[in-house]
A = this chain, B = another copy of it.
Amino acid sequence: MFSIGQLSQASGVKVPTIRYYEEIGLLACDGRSAGNQRRYTAAGRDRLRFIAHGRALGLSLDAIRALLDLSDRERAPCRQAHAIAESHLADIRDRIARLQRLEQELERITNACDHDGAPCRLLEALADHGQCASAH
């Protein structure tokens, strides 16, 4: 059995975060010590690692909860798991595309002023959405 601190070490998830996951029903502990401290089994540790990895991959706790529910039911249902992962992948690609458009606009805006003594045009450029080449 692991203490919450050991679980934290083993997963890289901070102690208050583990308690938070319990509070929202994502990760129950596997019992308590005589003095009311949380105790976990290896299964709990693995579940937390799954959660941590999902978070590192950018999944929401809701998506992770759905995946955990799937794997709790005997044979892992391939189709739904893929649907969740692929919808997240689509979301990431969308975010990348939007960030790249922002990058271009901000480059354009910071280049609007050439630093050579003329009044700075950066704030003007920031103010004026009409100057932007693409939507954002």
- Interface residue ranges, A against B (CB under 8 Å): 46, 49-50, 52-54, 56-58, 67, 70-71, 75-78, 81-82, 85-86, 88-89, 92-93, 95-96, 99-100, 102-103, 105-107, 109-110, 113, 115, 119-120, 122-123, 126-129, 136
Contacts and interface: CB of A to CB of B under 8 A. Distances in A.
Q: Which of A50, A82, A93, A127 has the most CB of B within 10 A?
A: A127
A106 B82 contact: no
Q: Which of A105, A109, A122 has the most CB of B within 10 A?
A: A122
Contacts of A110: 82, 85-86, 89
Contacts of A107: 89
15 contacts: A49-B127, A57-B109, A71-B123, A76-B119, A78-B115, A81-B123, A82-B110, A82-B115, A85-B110, A85-B122, A89-B103, A92-B103, A96-B99, A96-B103, A99-B99
Given A120-B77, A136-B56, A102 B92 contact: yes
Given A99-B92, A99-B95, A129-B49, A82 B136 contact: no
